[in-house]
């Protein structure tokens, strides 16, 4: 028996020390992967469709997305890849390898490799229901780096067809906390190790609006104090790694809900924010963009803009004057003198936080705080 030690990553995921985690996971945690959602169309397999977390808007819909952005062309995909300065791409759905999706999936892989180079890492998710040697050869020729299966037991054998093609082969499955799934999952790990697969990703079972009713009916519930974690999923995953890892050589990696819904998104937002940040904006720790926004009478705004340039001597490049709004770095408005000037001109000022998107369809203000309240929160009075 091999002694193993479980390590925690910075993104609240866990892996076996000395084995590491798949490259796709490393990049996801760093926010360097663009997520290409081919569409929400799949075979609706019995083993996984009941817990599918895809939203009603995307499920069974032919719309394609790159991260949060709806796209219609390969150039749209490239624009999103460049927006977050991505080092790789993951392809999901639906099932990217469904017969009706396969050609588009192959074309996206080829295009990404052509435009970003061979080192641009691409991994793909599939239920494996229609996977065969021909598809495996097409994926390898297109340049796919890594494939992750979530098949029913009746299709485990399909995973073998991806081996020895120059593609990193593994599985990614949710940890469904009941005895039946626990035994099946343990058997699956041993099977993957036996055939020579490289890894298995164990995902914390997700509880969300699209699947909440289905999970409740089967006796699964949201863990208190979490955003989407099913009770006992994390414990079962870590117990499984401790139990099985000493007997296998395969990489075993547990990915928590907070890693997927917080760390990955935060890291991707930070990268996007750096590429689109304007001079008057500051990037927060969460990857949001923050600035001061002044509004009021147009004549007073014009006078105040002159005041900013002349009396306060704020560089013109730090001021964005858009007719009925002035935007500038929030740190410049937090003095008593500045607040007095705002009162004198009868102008309103709020500290704004937005998600890092310029497109009107995705623009969202996450917080708007009046300047006086912001200053109080910034410098709380001691009791």
Asked whether residue 177 is domain-assigned, the answer is yes
Asked if 192 and 269 sit in the same domain, the reply is: yes
> How many domains, the chain?
2
Asked whether residue 383 is domain-assigned, the answer is no
- Domain harbouring 66, CATH code: 3.20.20.70
Question: For 14-29, what is each residue's pLDDT tens digit?
Answer: 999 999 999 999 999 9
Whole-prediction pTM value? Answer: 0.92
User: What's the pLDDT band for 33 if we cut at 50, 70, 90?
Assistant: very high
Helices (H), 23-129: 23-29, 74-83, 99-116
Asked whether residue 288 is domain-assigned, the answer is yes
Q: Residue 269 pLDDT more than 50?
A: yes
Asked whether residue 107 is domain-assigned, the answer is yes
Asked if 80 and 102 sit in the same domain, the reply is: yes
Asked whether residue 78 is domain-assigned, the answer is yes
Measured at the CA of 230, the angle between CA 226 and CA 236, to 5 degrees, comes to 115
Q: What is the mean pLDDT of the chain?
A: 96
Asked if 254 and 283 sit in the same domain, the reply is: no
Show which of 249, 273, 297 is a domain's final residue: 273
pLDDT of residue 261: 87
What is the rounded average pLDDT of the residues 196-213? 97
Widest distance between CA atoms in the chain: 79
What is the rounded average pLDDT of the residues 340-357? 97
What is the rounded average pLDDT of the residues 297-312? 95
219, 177 contact by CB (below 8 A): no
Instruction: Give per-residue burial for 203-220: e unless 16+ CB within 10 Å, then b.
Output: bbbbbbebbeeebeeeeb
Show which of 273, 289, 312 is a domain's final residue: 273
Asked whether residue 26 is domain-assigned, the answer is yes
Show which of 255, 273, 291 is a domain's final residue: 273
pLDDT of residue 179: 97
Asked if 268 and 320 sit in the same domain, the reply is: no
User: What's the pLDDT band for 280 if we cut at 50, 70, 90?
Assistant: very high
Domain range for 166 is: 6-273
User: What's the pLDDT band for 323 if we cut at 50, 70, 90?
Assistant: confident
Q: Residue 383 pLDDT more than 50?
A: no
Asked whether residue 1 is domain-assigned, the answer is no
Asked if 337 and 238 sit in the same domain, the reply is: no
pLDDT of residue 20: 95
Question: For 252-267, what is each residue's pLDDT tens digit?
Answer: 999 999 998 899 999 9
Asked if 199 and 335 sit in the same domain, the reply is: no
Give the C-alpha separation, 297 to 118, whole Å: 55
Asked if 264 and 284 sit in the same domain, the reply is: no
Asked if 268 and 283 sit in the same domain, the reply is: no
Helix (H) or strand (E) holding 376: helix 371-378
Asked if 262 and 281 sit in the same domain, the reply is: no
Asked whether residue 148 is domain-assigned, the answer is yes
pLDDT of residue 380: 67
Q: Residue 370 pLDDT more than 80?
A: yes
What is the rounded average pLDDT of the residues 231-235? 98
Asked if 287 and 205 sit in the same domain, the reply is: no
pLDDT of residue 1: 62
Q: Residue 382 pLDDT more than 60?
A: no
Asked if 160 and 301 sit in the same domain, the reply is: no
pLDDT of residue 381: 56
In the DSSP assignment, the letter for residue 155 is G
Asked if 317 and 265 sit in the same domain, the reply is: no
pLDDT of residue 349: 97
DSSP assignment of 270-323 equals HHHHHHH--TT-EE-TTS-EEEEEEES-HHHHHHHHHHHHHTS---GGG-EE-S
What is the rounded average pLDDT of the residues 96-119? 98
User: What's the pLDDT band for 378 if we cut at 50, 70, 90?
Assistant: confident
Give the C-alpha separation, 360 to 364, whole Å: 9
How many CA atoms does the CB half-sphere of 107 hold within 13 Å? 10
Q: Residue 360 pLDDT more than 50?
A: yes
Give the C-alpha separation, 121 to 110, whole Å: 12
User: What's the pLDDT band for 35 if we cut at 50, 70, 90?
Assistant: very high
């Amino acid at each position: 028996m091999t002694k193993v030690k479980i390590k925690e990553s910075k993104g609240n995921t866990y892996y076996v020390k000395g084995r590491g985690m798949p490259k796709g996971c490393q990049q996801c945690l760093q926010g360097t992967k663009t997520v290409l959602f081919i569409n929400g169309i799949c075979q609706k397999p019995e083993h996984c469709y009941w817990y599918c977390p895809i939203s009603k808007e995307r499920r069974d819909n032919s719309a394609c997305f790159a991260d949060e952005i709806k796209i219609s062309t390969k150039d749209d995909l490239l624009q999103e890849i460049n927006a977050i300065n991505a080092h790789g791409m993951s392809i999901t759905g639906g099932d990217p390898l469904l017969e009706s999706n396969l050609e588009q999936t192959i074309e996206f892989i080829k295009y990404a490799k052509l435009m970003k180079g061979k080192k641009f890492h691409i991994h793909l998710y599939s239920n494996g229901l229609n996977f065969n040697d021909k598809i495996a050869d097409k994926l390898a020729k297109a340049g796919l780096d890594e494939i992750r299966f979530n098949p029913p037991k009746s299709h485990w054998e399909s995973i073998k067809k991806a081996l020895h093609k120059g593609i990193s082969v593994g599985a990614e499955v949710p940890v469904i906390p009941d005895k039946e799934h626990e035994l099946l999952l343990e058997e699956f790990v041993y099977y993957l190790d036996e055939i020579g697969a490289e890894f298995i990703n164990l995902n914390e079972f997700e509880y969300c609006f699209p699947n909440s009713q289905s999970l409740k009916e089967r006796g699964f519930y949201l863990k208190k104090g979490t955003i989407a974690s099913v009770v006992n999923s994390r414990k079962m995953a870590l117990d499984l790694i401790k139990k099985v890892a000493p007997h296998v050589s395969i990489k075993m990696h547990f990915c928590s809900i907070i890693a997927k819904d917080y760390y990955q998104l935060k890291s991707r937002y930070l990268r996007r924010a750096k590429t689109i940040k304007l001079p008057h904006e500051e990037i927060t720790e969460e990857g949001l963009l923050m600035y001061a926004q002044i509004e009021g009478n147009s004549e007073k705004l014009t006078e105040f803009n002159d005041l900013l340039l002349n009396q306060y001597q704020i560089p013109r490049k730090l001021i964005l004057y858009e007719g009925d709004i002035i935007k500038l770095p929030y740190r410049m408005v937090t003095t008593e003198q500045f607040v007095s000037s705002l009162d004198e001109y009868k102008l309103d000022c709020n500290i704004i936080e937005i998600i890092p998107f310029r497109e009107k369809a995705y623009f969202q203000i996450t917080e708007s705080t009046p300047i006086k309240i912001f200053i109080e929160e910034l410098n709380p009075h001691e009791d």
